[in-house]
Amino acid sequence: MKNVIIIGNGIAGVTAARHIRKNSDHKITIISGETDYFFSRTALMYVFMGHMKFEHTQPYENWFWKKNRIDLVKAFVKSVDTTNKTLLLDNNTTIVYDDLIIATGSTPNKFGWPGQDLKAVTGMYSRQDLDTITEYAKDCKRAVIVGGGLIGIEMAEMLASKNIPVTFLVREKSFWNGVLPAQESEMINRHIREHHIDLRLETNLVEILSDENGRAKAVVTDKGETIECNLVGLTAGVSPNINFLKESGIELGRGVLVNRHLETNIPNVYAIGDCAQQHQGIGERRPIEAVWYTGRMMGETVARTICGVPTEYQPGHWFNSAKFLDIEYQTYGWIWAQPRENEARFYWEHKDGKICVHFNYDKISRKFIGLNTFGIRLRHKVFDKWLTDERSVEYVLEHLKDANFDPEFYKQYEAEILQKFNQENNTQLVPKKKSWKRILNLA
């Protein structure tokens, strides 16, 4: 029986623990200083907005851990001694391991801005960040958010829900335009401003100014502006949480370097989730993937290996989802900000300016490569199979009804989408009748 230690109680670490327990009698210990129990990190914003209580973010009852013989230690790990297979905790105790899984997630980026460590300056990643925002939002007259990613838009929505004026500093020419094509990025620009959020594009933070009590009182931008504020959100991306490993002998890049089995250069030491970095990305994927579902997949994968069934991490086709205020976003396959030489695009946008689909496909073979959708919820399993089967863009368009997740509650846009495609491509495609047999075969 092995003594398996997992550092981090996020989705990756907890999934690994659950699957190791399903398949073995190994001793399992999860170490985390953030919270007593695993919680859904993506739900933190809804706690702040009053939609749920923090305890509602915990997927498992408190008795779950004891029943499944998973020990919990609330502490931060200060260092790892891989020679003696021991961990030094911040309470100066040590723990011995046979197998070690590093699942420490990410930390918000800081770029050495003057004033970045003042009171009321925070990221939006941890439970502690939520507590900070909650405390300083009580008397906040204006907030400034720095960085235009998914965490930034979540924080903007949180604060706006409390009627706190928000200024949003984004260094790019258009919101998230390193990921989104121009049409979708411009749609989100409009949507942010429609929610009375002061979006400042091509604007960088220079300095955060302090009041007499060490709390942020204003920011200075590279436009020469000074914007008064009582709360500053630093949401300019995240980086793997690995500083405590620098003297461990574990090979590091931006994250903990791992092979396809999620093994480090040290025997019996693994890394999963946001902190893990593949030596080379899998297919078109990035070497580091700070995404909830990939953390879960890595947890399942490493559990099999530790339980005697060596398994490669194979995440399959790329997909992701998010929410920009009240517009839902999904992406399947690959659709880059700029099309590649072999790629063609088809874009349809509803007249209300809040619903769109954007298809990416090969110019010659017509193979469907990927899709973005805003405001229309589509079925993951359907698109996953279409990508595996290498369906043509014409097939996908004709069978789009099969992928509509909630046809009873949303208007049907398939005919309008197909009509525009026909006009632009001089084709005569027609929607195929929805087939439940075809859909059930995908499940």
> Mind listing the pLDDT tens digit for each residue in 402-419?
998 876 656 678 889 999
Q: Which fold does the domain 321-442 belong to in CATH?
A: Enolase-like; domain 1 (3.30.390)
Q: How far apart are CA 252 and CA 257, in angstroms?
A: 5
pLDDT tens-digit readout, 180-214: 999 999 999 999 999 999 999 999 999 999 999 99
Name residue 296's amino acid. Answer: R
Residue 368: what are its φ and ψ, rounded to 5°? -70, 130
Give yes or no on whether 121-236 and 321-442 have one common fold: no
Q: What is the pLDDT of residue 405?
A: 83
pLDDT tens-digit readout, 51-96: 999 999 999 999 999 999 999 999 999 999 999 999 999 999 999 9
Q: What is the pTM of this model?
A: 0.94
**Mean pLDDT computed over every residue of the chain:** 95
CATH pick for 3-107+239-306 out of 1.20.1250.20, 3.40.50.1780, 3.50.50.60, 3.30.460.20:
3.50.50.60
Q: Which residues contact 336 (CB under 8 A, 6 or more apart)?
A: 181, 343, 360
**What letters, b where the CB count within 10 A reaches 16 and e where it falls short, cover 299-316?**
bbbbbbbbbeeebebebe
- Sorted by where each begins, the domain ranges of the chain are 3-107+239-306, 121-236, 321-442
Q: CA separation (Å) from 34 to 73, 237, 338, 429?
A: 11, 20, 39, 54
pLDDT tens-digit readout, 134-162: 999 999 999 999 998 899 999 999 999 99
pLDDT tens-digit readout, 95-145: 999 999 999 999 999 999 999 999 999 999 999 999 999 999 999 999 999
Looking at the chain, the whole-number percentage of residues with pLDDT higher than 90 is: 92
Cβ–Cβ under 8 Å, residues 442 and 381: yes
Q: Which class does domain 121-236 fall in?
A: alpha beta
Q: How far apart are CA 361 and CA 27, in angstroms?
A: 49
Q: How far apart are CA 199 and CA 204, in angstroms?
A: 12
Q: What is the pLDDT of residue 148?
A: 86
